Amino acid sequence: MAEKCDKKVVLITGGAMGQGRTHAVELAKLGYNCVLLDLQDPTDERFRETVRQVEEVGGEALAIKCNICSSEDMEAAFAKAWDTYGRLDVVIANAGIINFGYTWELEDAKVKAALAVNLEGTWRTDKYAAQYMRKQGYGRIINISSVSGLKGTEQLATYCMTKFGIIGLTKTLALELRNTGLPIYCNVVCPTKVRTPMCETDTYVDFVNTTMGKNFSSWQEMFDDEKNPGGIKFLNPEDVTEMVVWLAESHEATLFTGREIVVDRGAML
């Protein structure tokens, strides 16, 4: 293992773009080195841009191609992070996918894919985070769920079942870690819809059109709708990042564990 570096270290799954990018850049501004895990190769243009932005604000980025569905990949990635920096202050289980379909129409492949990435991938991230944080004696684990982990959403059975599961996992791990007596905290952020590449697809626009009675021709038009009275409200990735940073950095966030932090622009009302 390398000597413990002076700067704090955050590990982020799904770190190549979207919310993973904004989490990394904002924490780098606060003095963190960033370990970025993603299915994308580090040579990918989007991944390289995230690394560039982290370095531009003074952070160091360790970019690792990693499949969170593989225990072998995840064990190796966490070991590389530990061997490089000697510490893991914060771990953010951010990676996730979405697919659509009425419950009675779903086929095994869609269900298995969502379970593998969203739920099992988060469990695997939490597993290794807990192992290393127990070794060092402290840490903060931040899982990313959704408001669809708190309520049913038509045509989102796979997304809902996995995001509900992440909340149950968070509460269980938080309890287990509390009972070790170590200052290791595990909480979960539940955002509403966010402007990320996940929403920039024709299938997402079709989902919104059929479930919300809209007639958008593109995701750009969908995002622009919030300018209209009663339009659909999206968060920016930075909105979620602000809450993630607060959970990672603040003293106040050590006063609770196992809690859902809802960032919803009133969607749950």
Active site residues: 159
CB 175 within 8 A of CB 258: yes
Pairing of strands 90-93, 33-38: unpaired
Question: Collapsing DSSP states into helix, strand and coil, what is residue 47?
Answer: helix
The Cα 124–Cα 117 span in angstroms is 10
- Tell me how crowded residue 227 is: count the other CB atoms within 10 A of its CB: 7
Question: Collapsing DSSP states into helix, strand and coil, what is residue 37?
Answer: strand
The Cα 63–Cα 200 span in angstroms is 24
Query: Per residue, what are the HEC states of 75-142?
Result: HHHHHHHHHHHCCCCEEEECCCCCCCECHHHCCHHHHHHHHHHHHHHHHHHHHHHHHHHHHHCCEEEE
Output DSSP code: residue 40: S
